[in-house]
Structure 1
Amino acid sequence: MNPITELDPRYSAPGATATPWAEARDGLALAETFWLSTVRPGGGPHVTPLLAVWHDGTLCFCTGVAEQKARNLEADPRCALTTGGGSLTQGLDLVVEGVARRVTDPARLRTLADAWEAKYGPEWRFEVRDGAFHSHEGGAAAVFAVAPVRAYGFRKGDYSQTRWTFEPAG
């Protein structure tokens, strides 16, 4: 996955360079928390924090099947995931825009469950059955994967804004 990389000079310091996708991808893999933005059935925004793992070119997250974000994605799968630090002068904030696709394949779910546990520890261990994650508390969680359509990087300190545009899958 090699996106088109563009620096937006309007929002970048003189002499700034575009952030390489590999650096952004590593930032997505290492980030612990994300904010998911979805669209409510009435058209309003819904934003909520969650955990996610970067796997096989997609950003993956899970949510209870009855939660608002799951209901929103069922009606409109377009979404954005954001992550970054709260510092004004250092770090790289990242935004991934795409379409959330439900993951139900048992083999992929097992791989993702292992990735969750590896990243977040044994308290985030999930069982896989019936096309979903199941916690030790018994709740079912739908798993979604978002392949980037567009992504943005906002570097602080030397201030640069990078846009990555991805070719459609298939």
Structure 2
Amino acid sequence: MNQRGRIAMSEDEIAGLLRDARKLQLGTINPDGTPHLVTMFHGLDDGRVTFWTYAKSQKARNIDRDPRVSCLIETGDEYTQLRGVLVYGEARLIDDPGAVLEVGLDVTRRMTGMPVDGPEARGYVEHTARKRVAYVVEPVRVVSWDHRKLGDGSVPRISP
């Protein structure tokens, strides 16, 4: 097996990283074709990435024009500890107010690590949801890596 195959994550490992991570890097495509990258807190819907944003944001305008996105979640500071998942997909608009609120509640719950069932927290999310839209990312391709699987502690050599 090649090194790429050795470090690929299983579906359960991918699901675990998506579940445990709070933030991701979202890539959309600007009108001039350049990438637009932003850090987003995200939620999950049946294992698929969800997020919400203001309806007039650059990322929303980009997705309206071209729904192709990439979502990168990565962890680890040392080469031998790097783990990541890169989801290539299409962002599908969720504009039903009740569904937008549900995505917002999930994102807020995951973002804060606290319940959002109380009236104060829920009221805040309901208030901000009025100006937002949500998206679910329908995966087209998923790439993953877990350098801990190398097991030999090797770090690539860099020649001077």
Q: Same fold (TM over 0.5)?
A: yes
Equivalent residue for 1:43? 33
Equivalent residue for 1:11? 4
Task: Flag structure 1 segments of 5+ consecutive residues without an equivalent.
Answer: 1-6, 128-133, 161-170
Equivalent residue for 1:141? 132
1:83 to 69, 73, 81: 73
Q: Structure 1 vs Structure 2: percent identity of aligned residues?
A: 26
2:110 to 113, 119, 122: 119
Q: 1:31 to 1:57 in 2, by over 3 A?
A: same
| SS of alignment partner, residue 157 of structure 1 | helix
Deviation at 1:53, TM superposition (A): 0.9
Q: 1:63 to 1:109 in 2, by over 3 A?
A: closer
The residue type equivalent to 1:149 in the other structure is V
Give the distance between the partners of 2:94 and 2:139, measured in 1 at CA: 16
Give the distance between the partners of 2:34 and 2:18, measured in 1 at CA: 26
Deviation at 1:139, TM superposition (A): 6.5
Q: 1:37 to 1:53 in 2, by over 3 A?
A: same
The residue type equivalent to 1:45 in the other structure is P
Equivalent residue for 1:61? 51
8 A Cα contact 2:8 2:145, kept in partner: no
Give the distance between the partners of 1:80 and 1:104, measured in 2 at CA: 21
- Relative to the length of structure 1, the TM-score reads 0.72
Deviation at 1:105, TM superposition (A): 3.0
Deviation at 1:141, TM superposition (A): 1.7
8 A Cα contact 2:7 2:147, kept in partner: no
Q: Hey, which of these two has a bigger chunk of strand by percent? A: 1
Equivalent residue for 1:105? 96
8 A Cα contact 1:64 1:139, kept in partner: no
Give the distance between the partners of 1:82 and 1:89, measured in 2 at CA: 18
Deviation at 1:48, TM superposition (A): 0.8
Deviation at 1:92, TM superposition (A): 1.7
Task: Flag structure 2 segments of 5+ consecutive residues without an equivalent.
Answer: 152-160
**Count of residues paired in the alignment:** 142
Q: Hey, which of these two has a bigger chunk of helix by percent? A: 2
2:147 to 114, 131, 156: 156
- Relative to the length of structure 2, the TM-score reads 0.76
Query: Which of the pair has more CA radius of gyration?
Result: 2
Post-superposition CA distance 1:104-140 (Å, at most 9, x none)? 234433432332233223468521xxxxxx42xx871
| SS of alignment partner, residue 18 of structure 2 | helix
Q: 1:53 to 1:159 in 2, by over 3 A?
A: farther
